[in-house]
């Protein structure tokens, strides 16, 4: 139900900020447990996106049109949808202010608006994106342009970038590189293309177990790694990118590099209305207990998804488990009972190292390996590609957004 006709002040019971993967998945799971609950979702977008497939679109393995559906189709029917943005949160008085000045009061608040892609932090990027060979799989509008440019490139220099953490799907910046290189190798032009991966950080991947198998592919594709190299400026017409490069002593210099293809991953930040609210931690993310996902100072508030100030990988797979934790813990909190479930930091990064093969990296807090299947997780497999490209997109639309909780085994709080 989409209700935009209320007066300036709205009184609600359970309010969910965000209709992305976390918001819709949570509401569906919660209403399966108790269909009588009154749930209000605040979400400005009229479209819902399956973002994990954009890497595949950029690699020519998925149709971008299959990654979007109308929000009205995925919004659970029993929920009330307010199509607006939140501009401020006052947890003291349990009240939200919307962008149209209406206020919404709540009994419980579930915070899951995702994060914001800060394209504007890279000078000249917004003017260049989608032309001059400048592209990004982090954008619905440009993932197809990535694939168009990859097919066109026969020689020259291809730069791939990764900003400082945290970002959503930490493996996605290098997945773009692998799928592009695999295509160039099969087209017999890889030898004429200089490939370089510029990472703001000092490691190829945050979980050391997966670095050796990934390095084999970096070497196979003859890609150069430039660590501590952060993209700060782009001039599309001049085909030049500037990087802030940090040396061993911590000195930063600006280095210009020319390109024929530039795949950019933008810096990523918490939405302003979270970062500027009392709910925020020092980094601007929504503060939660990392296990219960309950806010430490406002017990009626829970959060899940990319907005959380937790150390897990920001992926749809993480949300799949967080949904169950928050649904169960919220119901317990509403009855003044102890919170039953704890989140172990699970996240999954299906690393598409070539078209048709994936290294399925699954891990939790502290980089602890949490494989779902009893197979060596460091081996690239065709079965994992089938999971990523066929099964998971289908399950997303028909399972996760409908409250079906698949592969969500969790620990209980003792």
Cα four-point dihedral sign 82, 23, 137, 182: negative
Residue 286 annotated in active site: no
Which DSSP string do the residues of 121-161 spell out, in sequence order?
GSBTHHHHTTSTTEE-TTSTTTHHHHHHHHHH--SEEEEEE
Paired tokens of 292: 């219960």
Cis peptide before 166 (omega within 30 of 0): yes
CB atoms within 10 A of CB 258: 13
Active-site residue, selected from the candidate residues 112, 286, 308, 349: 349
What does the H/E/C string look like for 172-223? HHHHHHHHHHHHHHHCCCHHHEEEEEEECCCCCCCCHHHHHHHHHHHHHCCC
**Residue 286 gets which letter from DSSP?**
B
Active-site residue, selected from the candidate residues 112, 169, 181, 286: 169
Beta pairing partners, 261? 158
- d(Cα 331, Cα 349) in Å, to the nearest integer? 30
| Contact yes or no for 22/306 (Cβ under 8 A) | yes
Question: Buried b / exposed e across 79-116, counting CB within 10 Å, b at 16+?
Answer: bbbbbbbbeebebeebbbebeeebebebebbbbbbbbb
Residue 112 annotated in active site: no
Q: Which helix (H) or strand (E) holds 225?
A: strand 224-226
User: Active-site positions?
Assistant: 169, 349
């Amino acid at each position: 139900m989409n209700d935009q006709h209320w007066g300036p002040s709205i009184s609600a019971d359970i309010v969910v900020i965000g209709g992305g993967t976390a918001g819709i998945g949570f509401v569906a799971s919660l209403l399966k447990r108790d269909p009588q609950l009154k749930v209000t979702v605040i979400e400005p977008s009229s479209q819902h996106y399956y973002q994990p497939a954009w890497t595949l679109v950029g690699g020519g393995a998925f149709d971008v049109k299959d990654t979007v559906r109308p929000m009205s189709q995925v919004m659970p029917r029993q929920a009330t949808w307010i199509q607006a943005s939140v501009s401020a949160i006052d947890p003291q008085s349990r009240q939200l202010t919307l962008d149209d000045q209406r206020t919404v009061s709540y009994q419980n608040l579930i915070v899951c608006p995702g994060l914001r892609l800060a394209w504007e932090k890279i000078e000249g990027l917004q003017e260049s994106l989608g032309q001059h060979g400048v592209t990004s799989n982090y954008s619905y509008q440009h993932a197809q342009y990535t694939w168009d440019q990859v097919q066109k490139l026969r020689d020259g220099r291809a730069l791939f970038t990764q900003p400082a953490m945290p970002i959503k799907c930490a493996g996605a910046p290098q997945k773009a590189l692998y799928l592009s290189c695999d295509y160039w190798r099969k087209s017999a032009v890889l030898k004429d293309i200089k490939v370089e991966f510029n990472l703001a950080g000092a490691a190829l991947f945050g979980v050391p177990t997966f670095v050796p198998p990934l390095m084999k592919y970096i070497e196979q594709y003859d890609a150069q790694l430039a660590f501590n190299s952060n993209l700060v400026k782009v001039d599309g017409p001049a085909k030049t990118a500037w990087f802030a490069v940090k040396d061993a002593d911590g000195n930063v210099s600006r280095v210009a590099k020319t390109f024929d293809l530039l795949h950019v991953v933008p810096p990523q930040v918490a939405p302003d209305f979270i970062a500027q609210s009392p709910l925020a931690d020092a980094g601007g993310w929504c503060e939660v207990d990392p296990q219960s996902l309950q806010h430490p100072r406002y017990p009626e508030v829970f959060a899940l998804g990319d907005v959380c100030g937790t150390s897990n990988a920001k992926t749809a797979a993480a949300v799949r488990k967080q949904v169950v934790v928050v649904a169960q813990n919220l119901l317990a909190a509403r009855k003044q009972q102890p919170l039953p479930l704890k989140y172990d930091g699970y996240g999954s990064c299906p690393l598409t190292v070539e078209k048709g093969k994936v290294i399925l990296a699954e891990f939790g807090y502290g980089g602890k390996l949490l494989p779902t299947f009893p197979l060596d997780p460091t081996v690239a497999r065709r079965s994992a590609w089938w999971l990523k490209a066929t099964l998971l997109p289908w399950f997303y639309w028909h399972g996760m957004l409908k409250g079906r909780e698949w592969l969500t085994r969790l620990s209980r709080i003792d």
